[in-house]
Amino acid sequence: MKIGDYLKEEQILLDLKVGKKEEAIKEIATLLKGAKEITDFETFLKNVFEREKLATTGIGHEVAIPHARTNAVKDFVIAFGRSKEGVEFNSLDSKTAKIIFLMATPKEKGLSTYLKTLAYLSRLLQKESFRNSLLQASSPKEIIDQFKKAEA
Is 75 exposed, middle or buried (CB count within 10 Å of its CB: 0-12, 13-18, 19+)? middle
Number of Cβ within a 10 Å radius of residue 132: 11
Residue of 67, 82, 98, 131 marked active site? 67
Nearest residue to 50 (alpha-carbon basis) of 34, 67, 27:
67
User: Is 61 one of the catalytic residues?
Assistant: no
53's CB contacts (< 8 A; 6+ apart) are none
Catalytic residues: 67
